[in-house]
Amino acid sequence: MQRIGLVGSGFMATTHANSYQNIAGAQVVAVASIGENRTEFAAEHAPGAEVYDDAEEMMDDAEISVVDICTPTPTHRPLVEAAAARGLDTFCEKPLARTVEDADAIVERVEEAGITFMTGHVLRYFPEYAEAKRRIDAGEIGTLGTLHTERLSSPPRYGTNSWFGDKAQSGGVLLDMAIHDFDYLRWVAGEVDRVFARTAEWDDGHLNQHSSVVLRFENGAVGHVEASWGYPEGSPFITSYELAGDEGMLEFDARDENAVRVSGGVEGANAPASPLAKSPYTVELEHFLDCVENGDDPEISPADAREAVRVALAAVESSERGEPVSPVEVEA
């Protein structure tokens, strides 16, 4: 039985707590949060869990084997370092950190401690995205040439003290949301050589941003990521991709009835849409806990999570400088 100490009591903590209820051999036995809702949160989503207002106190006092961090991005480094110092295997929500310095420190610390560590790049566990990766690796669309993704929504209106709207904390739409696609495309196409981005920004009481990012991969492929926190409140959350090679193309659009559309020289019909048998968050956490149990390395390494941060921060820097930026140049 893996005994989980969950840090946080917001949206992502709720998602994780609910997922653990569907994982055999796992139980949230302690919750730590500075949120005033922590007692009510634990009662609803982790019945019987001990409740703390200090995460390190929870790590010291509660009988836990795993720490799951679902708190604002700037808190990740100190919390991961605290867990690593106690030898506790740790899952941390994305993005890994707000700065490259903090990301480097986290990677160094978890490797020194020898703990099992994974960052929540959950897009890899959505079936439409996993299916595209499988088909690309099987050579079904040939050599990748162009990759386009969309991730579009209204500004987030939740979060303690509206921290998403504070770019100093969240990094804005590029670090907090587009990082899903940056990690996925790097997983699919390899290392990113340089980034060029443009971002429009306005304030209507919430931080609105709409970004367009061009990625040049080391293998010559070109990616385009469109990410938005600029849609009206109540708009549907939109995701899509178009992944083209020299022998075919894969397409997905959340507004389409087909999960994955196949065209070009690829054999076989479209992959039909089907209801999710299991939440991608549950699949992700199951994989992490399997690695904890068996001593395996998670599919998403600390280095993967750090590189996703570098790409996202390169896009932020490119937007500010108005010129291409290489991820290896980013130091802040």
* Residue 95 structure tokens: 């993005």
- pTM of the predicted model, to two decimals? 0.95
What's residue 332's pLDDT?
66
- Domains in the chain, please, with CATH? 2-122+282-297 (3.40.50.720), 123-276+309-329 (3.30.360.10)
DSSP letter string, 262-307: EEET--S-PEEP---SS-HHHHHHHHHHHHHHHTPPPSS-HHHHHH
Q: What is the pLDDT of residue 262?
A: 77
pLDDT computed for residue 205 by the predictor: 86
> For every one of its 332 residues, what pLDDT tens digit does the chain have, with 9 covering 90 and above?
999 999 999 999 999 999 999 999 999 999 999 999 999 999 999 999 999 999 999 999 999 999 999 999 999 999 999 999 999 999 999 999 999 999 999 999 999 999 999 999 999 999 999 999 999 999 999 999 999 999 999 999 876 678 888 999 999 999 999 999 999 999 999 999 999 999 999 998 889 999 999 999 999 999 999 999 999 999 999 999 999 999 999 999 998 876 788 776 555 556 555 556 689 999 999 999 999 999 999 999 999 999 999 999 999 999 999 999 999 999 86
The answer to whether 94 and 308 have CB atoms below 8 angstroms apart is yes
